[in-house]
Amino acid sequence: MNPREDLLRRLLEALHDLPDDERLVPMSRAHQRHPSDTTSGDRTALADLFSDRVKHYGGQVYHLIEPDIPNTVCDILATHGVESVVAPQGLPEYWLSRWSSATGHRVIDDSPFLPQEELSGADAVVTTCAAAVADAGIIVLDGSAGQGRRAPTLAPECHVCVVRVEQIGATLPEVIDRLDHRRPITWFGGPAATADPRSEEADVLTAPRKLIVLIIDPAV
């Protein structure tokens, strides 16, 4: 089973938990389900489950707190020999500040006018995310600030994605409730990535990739 088939299988299995009408008709955001209050213990358990799933499907996971992001990102990019990084609009600049200060390292600001050859030549992309699914190990992007366009999340060989503990939902139905379905949705699972499988324009990156997830724990 290739990465595309594996990810689609996991999405379809998760979608079986949705009632038939919710698979076909987007819900009004005013009538979405709201899960009960989540305790810190629940969030920790979800983060641990999500971490296990991501690693099971070939991703790497780091647990850290907000102030450690610049140093961790720098160490990861250096370890993987990255010399050029695509930075989506809205990504905090200081996350790449330490890495970009080294000679020969270049941050590429993403824009719709970025030449395809420059995008394809980038070594890595660093993004935030819209949500994550604990039981499937899936990350969701919707193009909001820090996530960027879909193309830059697929082209570079290495994707470093920052996921906050509070963004992790237990199941796909719960996470779907959090999304703005007017936005383009991209799903990540392990080192492969795919578009929303319900989209007519869905296509999948099948080449081997590195997915590195930074789970940001609340400061204690």
Sorted by where each starts, the structural domains of the chain and their CATH numbers stand as 3-15+39-216 (3.40.50.10420)
* pTM across the whole model: 0.78
Q: Are 119 and 157 in contact (CB under 8 A)?
A: no
CA separation, residue 44 to residues 41, 49, 188, 197 (Å): 5, 9, 21, 29
- Exposed / middle / buried, residue 211 (Cβ in 10 Å: 0-12, 13-18, 19+): buried
Mean pLDDT by 10 residues, the chain (220 residues): 56 54 42 54 92 94 97 97 95 97 95 84 94 94 90 84 96 87 83 48 49 88
Amino acid 9: pLDDT? 62
CA separation, residue 71 to residues 76, 112, 218 (Å): 9, 29, 17
201 in helix, strand or coil? coil
> How far is Cα of residue 61 from the mean position of the Cα atoms in its chain?
12
